[in-house]
Amino acid sequence: MRRRLLAILRRLRRAYGDPAAPRRLAPLDELILTVLSQNTNDVNRDRAYADLRAKLPTWDEVADAPLPAIARAIRHGGLGPTKSVRLREILRTLRDRGIPLDERAFARMRSAALWDLLVGL
């Protein structure tokens, strides 16, 4: 069975090449993308993310922005009014707990503590 699977894998690689490496963003960026992905497709999620970063380049700016500004920035992803509340709430909660809103977010947390934090958001 293993030999057969490896042969199939080789044929697939010859036909289609190796799959693209997954996107590697900072954990906080991935969390934001997860929220933006609710009830939309990847194209609209990515567009909303790019628009948000263009209008509010740092997560601290998003945390401090008025909800209508966030909703306008992410409108291409749909559910802007709902997602804007959730995004700002998540970012403010993290910041209130002393977690930096940048690529260092979650870096020094143990897995169990990180799990508890994320589940509690």
For the segment 28-40, the average pLDDT, to the nearest whole number, is 96
pLDDT value at residue 22: 77
| pLDDT tops 80 at residue 23 | no
Question: Which residue's entry shows tokens 């992803």?
Answer: 77
Residue 63 pLDDT? 99
pLDDT at residue number 70: 99
Dig out the tokens for 25 from the structure: 């963003």
pLDDT of 4 reads 93
> Which two structure tokens, joined as six digits, stand for 5?
């699977």
**For 25-120, CATH number?**
1.10.340.30
Distance between CA atoms of residues 40 and 50, nearest Å: 15
Give the range among 47-51, 68-72, 100-104 with minimum mean pLDDT.
100-104
CA-wise closest residue to 38 among 92, 74, 73 = 74
